[in-house]
Amino acid sequence: MPATALTARALLLDMDGTLVNSDAVVERCWRRWALRNGLDPEEALKVVHGRQGYATMAVLLPERPMEQNYADNKVMLAEETADTDGVVPIGGAPAFMDAIAALPHALVTSADLALATARMGAAGLRMPDLRVTAESVGASKPDPEGFLKGAAALGFAPEDCVVFEDSEAGIAAGRAAGMRVLGVGPRAGAHSPDAHVADLTQLRVEAAADGAITLHVQAR
């Protein structure tokens, strides 16, 4: 049975699918890309979540030179940054971000800074002071680099951090970093996170004077 409470000293937050619902934009852009490259859009959409674009392209077109994936990724990022139609906060995200404002936390996202800024802004969410974006890492999730960098920047050991994630790649990255994972949304439930919520309205944050943070999962 998944845990109904997790205790941490720092929180590492994915963005897409975790704080921001950007599925409409992601699906529009990736459907176009899949069709341009002779791929089945439905099959492509099964692997796009959680990774940087170039890494997704490498999974879908394993024989293609990485230079072409990097070039396509730049185009994809520009398209996604310009398209914020339908970008909304995940349920409970505004109140959750308010609740953790004074607690150690960082954004760890596969988006670059421009895309992260556009989507957090479109969703009306506060951008954390500390963020690990695509420019900050050499490897995409499921590699743990981003979460390890986030923990180090906050000054906490991996075992003191809880990762918030929605995707298979993100959950794998959190686990590889030696952190516990709170899964958010329907995609996360299939990958056995340490605790799981349908959205952030199911979460209550309790902060103790000694710096301990308890994340209580509320039953519906």
Q: What is the DSSP letter of 127?
A: P
Give the residue extent of every domain in the chain.
5-22+87-217, 23-82
Write the burial class of residue 127 (CB in 10 Å: 0-12 exposed, 13-18 middle, 19+ buried).
middle
Nearest Cα to Cα of residue 158 among 131, 143, 178, 184: 178
- First vs last Cα of the chain: how many Å apart? 16
Return the pLDDT at 87. 97
Active site (catalytic) residues: 14, 16
Which is more confidently placed, 46 or 97? Answer: 97
Please, which pLDDT band fits residue 219 given cuts at 50, 70 and 90?
A: confident
**For residue range 95-137, what is the model confidence (pLDDT) as tens digits?**
999 999 999 999 999 999 999 999 999 999 999 999 999 999 9
Q: Which CATH class is domain 5-22+87-217?
A: alpha beta
**For residue range 198-210, what is the model confidence (pLDDT) as tens digits?**
999 999 999 999 9
pTM of the predicted structure, to 2 decimals:
0.93
